[in-house]
Structure 1
Amino acid sequence: CARLARRAADRWQSGRQLDARDLALRELPDLAAAMDPTNAPLSPSAEAGTSVEITVSLWFLWVACGRVAEGRARLRHALALHPGPPPARALWL
């Protein structure tokens, strides 16, 4: 799912915003499951980094598509389980 989120972000950056939005929304149920580190089979803290990466990669969905509150909530949840300091990219969302 991290690769999918990066692909959507790349589309957004390359000027294909509608494609990026459509991809992210179509895959949102799977992305949402991957953004929740408590779904990790072994260790939620081990998956928190991936959850943060996915959430931050989907910044355009949260900010430009009117879902800021959802994005912040997902990021807060992932960062609560993240074992280290938050990545710089996560601080502005």
Structure 2
Amino acid sequence: MPQHVSILQLAGVAFLALVSVAWLVGLLRMLRRARAEATVWHTGSAALYGVPEQRQSGPHREAVELTPAERDAFALLVRQLDDRR
């Protein structure tokens, strides 16, 4: 033991080292537990009550027949947009 270091200083360093190790162990346990809970959450075993029920299919598709003039105008528009590339 060095001559210029008191027993209280050595005890303080030892205490801080012990507290740091305990904090690190607690942090690692907390992160492991959070990761395990996230895995359970991602499997879908627990329902999310705040989210409304989702549709299983998309919305109704609508189709409109174009006249020949509308088809020609659309083709012209597509050509103009394609030329801009």
TM-score, scaled relative to structure 2: 0.21
Larger helix proportion of the pair: 1
Structure with bigger gyration radius: 2
Whose RCO is larger (CA < 8 A, sep 6+)? 1
